[in-house]
Structure 1
Amino acid sequence: MTEYEQTLLARAAARQDRLIRDCLVLYAGANLPSPAAQGAYSAALSAYPAMGPSFAKEQPDTDLVSELEEAVRRQICDLLGAGWAEPRLPSCTYANLAVFHALTRPGDLFFGPAAQHGGHLSQRRGGTPDVVGLRVTDLPYDRERLCLDGHAAARMIERDRPAMVLLGRSIMLKPDDLAPVVAAARQAGAITVFDASHVLGLIMGGTYPNPLAAGVDVLTSSTYKTFPGRPHSIVAGRDPAHGALLAGVIDRQLLANNDTGRLPSLLVSLCEAKEEIGDYARAISRGTRRLATALRAEGLTVRVAEPDETPTHQLLVPLPPSVPQAGAIRIFAEDGILLGTCADPAVPGGHALRIGTQFITRHKTGDTPDWDEIARRLAQTFGKLSR
């Protein structure tokens, strides 16, 4: 091993302490599992594949993997009020791909969020839906209220009768009104899917309405944002028939092997969520509100949920048109602040800083984050962008 490679390994080993102690992590898609969840990873479970359904796998000595799969499924169903759950896929992009394969056919009409409104590559035109051969139409968005235009979406569904409607985005400042969309989709025979990657922990914690309880058919999610686990995915739903179709695609066509050593870690994170996720979700929403207030006091424009609405972990600060996104990220990183940028859904062609409160809320060094000091640091660096 070269000295350079040894240096890389040392830096990797020190990264967690650096993120918690030396950086202000305000990236909206970041988190770390607990020490117990990190320690539960089992490399021995991934020593060889465990292909196929639980307790009917092709390899020997896989009953423990099957038991873990079933235990994780039970916890997911418990936390989300779901009728079935699928924990085997490595990320939500793969989960969305599998759901598209299982529940649609090439050429079907698909409604999903536009990139300008926060549509992720696994949800939008030109991304994963295209891989499956779906015809993609953008869902309407309310630029003034910064959320899905549920009534306009319902009218589109009634008129065009898509096969699938995907809800949820990478920019989610507050809950969408899902009721008119769910009702129209049910009338039109469309399957509804909610990508909860950014708000899974808030759903489990009760500060974001549960889409499954609202009648959405399938929920997909990653597990490392407001839900503080290792990178993975979950899929859950109401109708076991949908779960059976998804499992068939996974078993026959998609998953020859996966890192089953992650299952114990996911199980620990889910069990911890039963005890802690409510307090955590409420602290995230409080932090978002306090940070928004503090940033406005520093003179910055902030896009966040209205005072009578419950905020998520996200708030946006519009960027000057002359500032490139990559340049903004770099300047903040040089000051020890890790955050991202995104399209500004309120301004066509505009961009914004996307700030998340979930990491610092969980990994704060004191009793509570000092949101006024965080806002001061953000404003100080923001002032450098136009220089």
Structure 2
Amino acid sequence: PKLVQFGASVFLFPHPVKELVPVAHEVGAHVNYDAAHVAGLIAGKQFQDPIQEGTDTMTMSTHKTFPGPQKGIVIASHDELAEKIKKAAFPGMTSNHHLMHVAGLAVAAAEFKKYGEAYSKQIIKNAKALGQALYERGFQVVCPDKGFTKSHTLLVDITNFQDSIGLGADVEQRLEKAHIVANRNLLPWDILEKRNYLNPGGIRIGTQEITRLGMKEADMIVISDLFKAVLVDQKDPKAVAQEIKEFRSEFQKIHYGFETSLKAYEYIKIV
């Protein structure tokens, strides 16, 4: 192969980069690591560092665990490769760098430099705590033998709700009615079970945003109880939505960032 690619959209655990990079390089393959989902955890020193483990490049987005505006970044392992990528990117494939995002990205980077390590640690603590709490309430959170996750993400097998609620799309929509945002997601074995991405056997949950709002491990227990109310107890989602509104009212500040008088998600009227 000319290219060997690491990375995933459900990135629960580090990949065997150190072990496989030498094999790829033996046959002259370029090795890239797609860090779109875990870039913030890498920057916060809480996840594997692929460049240090031998990859040639790392691609990433700046709006997931790295909490900035939507952009993409390519990091190269050495200067000569970086120059080739620069020339390919501009003028080869892009015409500008979307100047309106630069200030926001600079602020996000400055905030992350100061608070990113603490933020990343808490993201993972919350993910593990939420995985455990959901598991204790009867949810089939994958990889319980591995502590559920070493990142911000949890993957839950919801096929036990197939007869009562449905599969991933049905569960996703029911949760949304209760103001819980999760997304349907394929399980690794879904294709074998003849399920597809339109209504798969799983849902994916992330903790980066609730962590930014200041939630800690104890709050993950509350959240798991809300999941249980909607899916296991099958309470009216609208009634649960009211409970969530009350719970969420206690978290109105963005944490792990510079001080501001604005509330989280407050609309800023410009004109």
Relative to the length of structure 1, the TM-score reads 0.54
Structure 2 residue matching 1:212: 3-state secondary structure: coil
Measure the CA separation in 1 of the matches of 2:180 and 2:218.
Answer: 14
Counterpart mapping for 1:1-387 below 5 A = 162-304=1-143, 306-307=145-146, 311-320=150-159, 321=162, 323-347=166-190, 348-349=192-193, 351-364=201-214, 370-383=219-232, 384=234
1:300 to partner: Cα distance = 1.1
Are 1:291 and 1:372, in contact at CA under 8 Å, matched by a contact in 2? Answer: yes
Q: 1:368 to 1:180 in 2, by over 3 A?
A: closer
1:179 to partner: Cα distance = 1.6
Measure the CA separation in 2 of the matches of 1:283 and 1:290.
Answer: 10
1:258 to partner: Cα distance = 3.6
Structure 1 residue matching 2:141: 3-state secondary structure: coil
Q: Deviations over 1:40-76 (max 9, x none)?
A: xxxxxxxxxxxxxxxxxxxxxxxxxxxxxxxxxxxxx
Letter in 1 for 2:175: F
**Structure 1 residues without counterparts, runs of 5 or longer:** 1-161
Measure the CA separation in 1 of the matches of 2:23 and 2:148.
Answer: 25
Structure 2 residue matching 1:370: 3-state secondary structure: helix
Structure 2 residue matching 1:215: 3-state secondary structure: coil
Are 2:36 and 2:64, in contact at CA under 8 Å, matched by a contact in 1? Answer: yes
1:306 to partner: Cα distance = 4.3
Structure 1 residue matching 2:15: 3-state secondary structure: coil
Relative to the length of structure 2, the TM-score reads 0.76
1:210 to partner: Cα distance = 0.3
Q: 1:294 to 1:342 in 2, by over 3 A?
A: same
Measure the CA separation in 1 of the matches of 2:37 and 2:31.
Answer: 18
1:24 alignment partner in structure 2 = none
Measure the CA separation in 1 of the matches of 2:85 and 2:208.
Answer: 31
Measure the CA separation in 2 of the matches of 1:275 and 1:181.
Answer: 33
Aligned residues with identical type, % of pairs: 27
1:132 alignment partner in structure 2 = none
1:182 to partner: Cα distance = 0.4
Measure the CA separation in 2 of the matches of 1:203 and 1:286.
Answer: 15
Structure 1 residue matching 2:83: 3-state secondary structure: helix
Q: 1:236 to 1:369 in 2, by over 3 A?
A: farther
Q: Deviations over 1:275-332 (max 9, x none)?
A: 1111111101111111111111111111147457861011111122562433222110
Measure the CA separation in 2 of the matches of 1:316 and 1:380.
Answer: 19
Runs of 4+ that moved beyond 3 A: 304-310, 346-350, 366-369
Letter in 1 for 2:126: G
Measure the CA separation in 2 of the matches of 1:369 and 1:264.
Answer: 35
Structure 2 residue matching 1:337: 3-state secondary structure: coil
1:269 to partner: Cα distance = 1.1
Give the aligned length.
223
More contact order relative to length (CA 8 Å, sep ≥ 6)? 1
Are 2:45 and 2:117, in contact at CA under 8 Å, matched by a contact in 1? Answer: yes
Letter in 2 for 1:187: E
Structure 2 residue matching 1:175: 3-state secondary structure: coil
Measure the CA separation in 1 of the matches of 2:149 and 2:223.
Answer: 21
